Amino acid sequence: MIIIPAIDIKDGKCVRLFKGDEDQVTVFSEHPAEIAKEWEDSGAKWIHVVDLDGAFSGKPKNYNVIKSIVDTVSCPVQVGGGIRNIDTVREYIGIGVKRVILGTAAFNDEDFLRNSCSEFPEEIAVGIDTKNGKIAVKGWTEVIDQSTQEVMQNLQNAGVSVVLNTNIDRDGTMEGINIESAREFINESPIPVIASGGIAAMEDLEKLASIEHLGLYGAILGKSIYTGSINLKEAIQRYS
């Protein structure tokens, strides 16, 4: 289980949202690249970056900040948020991003999804954000009426290499992982899963480690490592 620290960017700053609400934001740093270096120095093998402005607007807004992160660290970086066309995918891969995460567009534009996976095999992931058991899109503002199983089969057929599952109801709340929901999702996924949302303490990582054999590839840590409720270095040493 790879432990992956998250850097969420809004207005060029490193922030965390509460339950995906863009109006409930806490700024943790004005310098995201410095935070990325700190996480790498703690042992991170991947850095997870989200352009929140991009996620809400539908097009990348923090490209230069993301480039500075990629240029600062030597570990691979995965990026999501507002990636809706092949040119944006190419731009990110072109500056050294190792994995591009598609969200809304993966559900709205099947040709784009398939073309991305075909052109960049093993480098395309899809974010599946769940809210009350439903899949949410457009910056977590809309839910779609498709079963998880059906969605996952379509993604596998398209060639998606990894799926990120965020439980929006827990994201940024520090309430702890909803392990039943995570287990159910991983069981339904034929694709390796990275879990996120609500991971607040080492006990949550312990719970996730217990279902790693089902197909859990990694866990994303956000607010917990910024508030200090989880020590990133210790978590990586114990679980990665």
The predicted structure's pLDDT at residue 169: 75
Q: Which pLDDT tens digit goes with each residue over 37-65?
A: 999 999 999 999 999 999 888 889 999 99
The predicted structure's pLDDT at residue 108: 87
Q: Domain containing 221 — which CATH number?
A: 3.20.20.70
Active site residue 21: no
Active site residue 129: yes
Residue of 8, 51, 171, 204 marked catalytic: 8
Please, what is the Cα angle at 67 between 168 and 125, to 5 degrees? 40
Q: What is the pTM (predicted TM-score) of this model? A: 0.92
The predicted structure's pLDDT at residue 158: 96
Instruction: Please say whether the beta carbons of 101 and 126 come within 8 A.
Output: yes
Residue of 53, 129, 171, 204 marked catalytic: 129
As for how many domains the chain has, the answer is 1
Can you give the residue range of the structural domain that contains 111? 2-239
Q: Which pLDDT tens digit goes with each residue over 136-154?
A: 776 566 777 777 788 899 9
